[in-house]
């Protein structure tokens, strides 16, 4: 039976195999977790021959039971071989790793026959096994694809601009330094989209000045933003974002004034108004003539 020992704090991931009454460890996993740059050389130099075997030999000797995953030539080491690699490592975390294996993993295997892990479907389990920012990024993308297949997501992929030529080429194609790791372009509620900047799950990530400017600019454009190093909090915010509803638009009606215009009911009314209009005009003309005559006589006198 194969189990996985994975610890976020120590940044280690080791597969474990229960073989008879003993426990075997994948040698490469142990060597990488202990900081060996050349894992093959470390296994060859530090582990005695009697303390290591191949996966193929284990499978041939145990025809019954589930098939173990991995290449038949993969090297497994005994508990004694584990100690040999630990004592040969100069990494500071080797002591913590050894303590965790001795106090937690091995006692559990000896007592129950297996090392129990949290439920893989749990978000908190995923947070425990996240080792770096890339793990967090890919886990969130997988979560979005599984739960919101209609989501339109655009990755920043700034981690791939690791050379001058790549950065120049990316800049020509539209990439800008500091842009968020992930942008969800689906408008929800009052927001035009959702921009997420990921940081290391170990809590060591720092937001750069350009990243801050990007987030400020996106907020001014109507985007919701998030900086996160936690899978649980990120997924909760994503759920909240997709549950937002568009704000209701209140339609304002143009005011209508009820203005009544006078319409003559009978033809006699129309004749009366017309005659009054003509009379008024004639009176104005008469008054003007009188004023002109008075002015002329005054000048002669």
Considering the chain, what is the average pLDDT of its residues? 74
Q: CATH 3.40.1350.10 spans which residues of the chain? A: 120-243
Q: Does pLDDT of 18 surpass 50? A: yes
3-state secondary structure of 58: helix
User: What are the pLDDT digits (tens) for 65-105?
Assistant: 445 566 788 899 988 888 788 777 766 656 666 666 666 66
Please write down the long-range contacts of 225-228, taking CB distance under 8 Å and 24 or more positions apart.
225/180, 225/194, 225/195, 225/196, 225/197, 226/194, 226/195, 226/196, 226/197, 227/196, 227/197, 227/199, 228/136, 228/196, 228/197, 228/198, 228/199
> Which residues 6+ apart lie within 8 Å of 79 measured at CB?
22, 23, 25, 106
User: What are the pLDDT digits (tens) for 36-47?
Assistant: 778 889 899 888
- Please tell us whether the domain made up of 120-243 is placed in CATH 3.40.1350.10: yes
3-state secondary structure of 258: coil
The stretch 100-113 carries a mean pLDDT of: 60
% of the chain residues with pLDDT over 90:
16
3-state secondary structure of 251: coil
Q: Say which residue, 283 or 19, is predicted with more confidence.
A: 19
Residue whose token pair is 């989501």 = 151
In the prediction, which pLDDT does 200 show? 79
Q: Say which residue, 301 or 138, is predicted with more confidence.
A: 138
Q: How far is CA 196 from the centre of its chain?
A: 4
Q: How far is CA 59 from the centre of its chain?
A: 42
Count of CA atoms in the C-beta half-sphere (13 A) of 81 = 25
- pTM > 0.85: yes or no: no
In the prediction, which pLDDT does 95 show? 62
The stretch 147-176 carries a mean pLDDT of: 80
Q: Say which residue, 276 or 190, is predicted with more confidence.
A: 190
In the prediction, which pLDDT does 197 show? 93
Would you say 47 and 81 are in contact if contact means Cβ atoms under 8 Å apart? Answer: yes
In the prediction, which pLDDT does 9 show? 45
User: What are the pLDDT digits (tens) for 264-295?
Assistant: 555 555 555 555 555 555 566 666 676 666 66
% of the chain residues with pLDDT over 70:
56
- Burial label for 112, CB within 10 Å (0-12, 13-18, 19+), is exposed
Q: How far is CA 38 from the centre of its chain?
A: 35
Q: Does pLDDT of 175 surpass 70? A: yes
Q: Whole-angstrom Cα distance, residue 25 to residue 68?
A: 13
Most confident range (mean pLDDT) of 34-43, 130-139, 218-227 is 218-227
In the prediction, which pLDDT does 227 show? 93
Most confident range (mean pLDDT) of 7-21, 139-153, 273-287 is 139-153
In the prediction, which pLDDT does 124 show? 47
pLDDT band at 8 (very low <50, low <70, confident <90, very high): very low
pLDDT band at 127 (very low <50, low <70, confident <90, very high): very low
Q: Say which residue, 203 or 189, is predicted with more confidence.
A: 189
The stretch 164-174 carries a mean pLDDT of: 77
In the prediction, which pLDDT does 72 show? 83
């Amino acid at each position: 039976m194969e189990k996985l020992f994975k610890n976020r704090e120590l940044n280690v991931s080791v597969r474990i195999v229960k073989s008879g009454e003993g426990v075997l460890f994948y040698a490469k996993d142990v060597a990488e977790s202990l900081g060996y740059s050349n894992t093959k050389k470390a296994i060859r130099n530090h582990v005695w021959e009697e303390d290591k075997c191949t996966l193929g030999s284990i499978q041939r000797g145990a025809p019954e039971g589930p098939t173990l995953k991995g290449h038949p030539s993969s090297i497994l080491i005994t508990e004694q071989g584990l100690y040999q690699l630990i004592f040969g490592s100069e990494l500071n975390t080797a002591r913590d790793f050894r303590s965790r294996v001795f106090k937690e993993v091995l006692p559990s295997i000896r007592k129950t026959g297996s090392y129990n892990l949290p439920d893989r479907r749990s978000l908190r389990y995923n947070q425990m096994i996240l080792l770096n920012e890339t793990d967090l990024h890919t886990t969130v993308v997988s979560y979005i694809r599984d739960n919101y297949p209609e989501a339109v997501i655009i990755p920043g992929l700034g981690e791939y601009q690791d050379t001058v030529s790549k950065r120049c080429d990316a800049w020509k194609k539209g990439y800008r330094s500091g842009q968020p790791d992930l942008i969800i372009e689906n408008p929800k509620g009052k927001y035009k989209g959702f921009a997420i900047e990921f940081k290391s799950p170990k809590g060591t990530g720092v937001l750069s000045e350009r990243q801050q400017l990007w987030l400020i600019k996106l907020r001014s454009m109507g985007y919701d933003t998030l900086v996160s190093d936690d899978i649980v909090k990120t997924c909760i915010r994503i759920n909240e974002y997709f549950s937002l509803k568009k704000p209701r638009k209140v339609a304002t009606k143009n005011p209508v004034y009820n203005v009544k215009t006078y319409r003559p009911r009978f033809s006699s009314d129309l004749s009366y108004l017309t005659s009054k209009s003509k009379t008024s005009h004639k009176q104005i003309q008469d008054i003007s003539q009188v004023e002109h005559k008075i002015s002329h006589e005054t000048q002669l006198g």
